[in-house]
Amino acid sequence: MTVPEVVVCRTGTANLASVLAALRRAGGVARTGRSADEILTATHVVLPGVGTFGAAMDTLRDTGTDDALKQRIDSGKPLLAICVGFQLLCRSSEESPGATGLGLIDDRVTRFPEEVRVPQFGWNSLAPDSGCRTLAAGHAYFANSYRLERAPRDWRAATSDHGGPFVAALERDTLVACQFHPELSGSWGAALIRRWLAMPC
């Protein structure tokens, strides 16, 4: 069995130690990278994110990895997007007015309503669509102030509730996008990472 070569894309805002450790525990050979060639040639790529939507997109554009990520997605190679990395797949975010995302999802990320705790810190349950292959029911660890309110067409989704339902995760072909942090979600998150690493590249 081929060991997955995982490149974790540097967005300039992420603490990558826990992501790298989780990937290695799951059986991947993981390292960070920020060049277009690294993003295009790795068997698996992780797009993480901690910080703001606009700052992360600025880093991707400055390094040319924004176009490389789009090419990778178009080619069907495995990609795992985490937290702000999930939000970067969208058109824009209320967090960073004027900033444009990768645009794979033609929708805007919005802030949770004021009547609930913001940020959402801690564990929350997920309810996946019946057709999900990588996403499973369980509890995951979240740390987010913004969310995608509805799933785009032609994607399978898992939903959670915090001041109303929101998209906790999406999957389409070999792309898995998690608003939560699978690397901080215990054995359930570790199992999700292993399923993603097992995807053909």
Q: Check if the beta carbon of residue 201 is closer than 8 Å to that of residue 77.
A: yes
Q: Is 149 a catalytic residue?
A: no
How far apart CA 53 and CA 41 sit, in angstroms, is 25
Marked catalytic residue, from 38, 95, 171, 183: 183
Contact partners, residue 17, CB within 8 Å, separation at least 6: none
Q: Is 171 a catalytic residue?
A: no
Marked catalytic residue, from 38, 44, 83, 90: 83
Q: Where are the beta strands (DSSP E) in 145-182?
A: 146-147, 156-161, 165-172, 175-178
Tell the burial category of 67 from Cβ atoms under 10 Å away from its Cβ (0-12, 13-18, 19+).
Answer: middle
Q: Is 83 a catalytic residue?
A: yes
How far apart CA 35 and CA 32 sit, in angstroms, is 10
- Catalytic positions are 83, 181, 183
